Structure 1
Amino acid sequence: MVKYLVVFEKTETGYSAYVPDLPGCIATGKTKNMTEKHIIEAIQFHIEGLIEEKIKIPISKTEADTFVFALK
């Protein structure tokens, strides 16, 4: 089992998501829940394509942290 970081971004029309460790693996949706469903499908499709093409599946190298800043 492999874990991948997924980045969600709010857009003017909903949400977008991408996987930094799987270049080109993106999804969009009107809601975050819908976008989550779409990115899971996109990851599965992306990995199936890599397997079919006999390309090594990338390991996850991306990490994320959240920092809180006080604005003056």
Structure 2
Amino acid sequence: MKLKIVLEPSEDGGYTVYVPSLPGCISEGDTVEEAIKNIKEAIELYLEPVEDDLIPFAEKKAEIIELTL
């Protein structure tokens, strides 16, 4: 399974990471590597109840757009 993640520097240091196609699936870490490790764990926990229901959530396509204000 492939999912897109968004990794952003946090204002307080470290990184925030989330999965646009999994609402509420968010994590953070002090380093990029730690943030990615943590979001993998968060994704696994997020998907546990879904696996039993076989909901085809992964078919939804998220689009990431960069805006300049």
Q: TM-score range by the shorter chain?
A: 0.7 to 0.9
- Residue 56 of structure 1 corresponds to 55
Aligned residues: 64
Structure with bigger helix share is 2
Q: Give the direction of change, closer, same or farther, for the CA distance of 1:57–1:27 in structure 2 (3 Å limit).
A: farther
- When Rg is computed on C-alpha atoms for both structures, the one with the higher figure is 1
Pairwise CA RMSD of aligned residues?
Answer: 1.9
- Residue 27 of structure 1 corresponds to 27
Distance in 2 between residues matched to 1:57 and 1:27, nearest whole Å? 23
Unaligned runs of 5+ in 1: 67-72
Structure number with higher relative contact order (C-alpha < 8 Å, ≥ 6 residues apart): 1
**Runs of 4 or more consecutive aligned structure 1 residues displaced over 4 Å after TM superposition:** 63-66
Query: 1:62, CA displacement in angstroms?
Result: 2.1
What TM-score, normalized by structure 2, do the two folds share? Answer: 0.77
Distance in 2 between residues matched to 1:19 and 1:42, nearest whole Å? 10
Identity level (%): 38
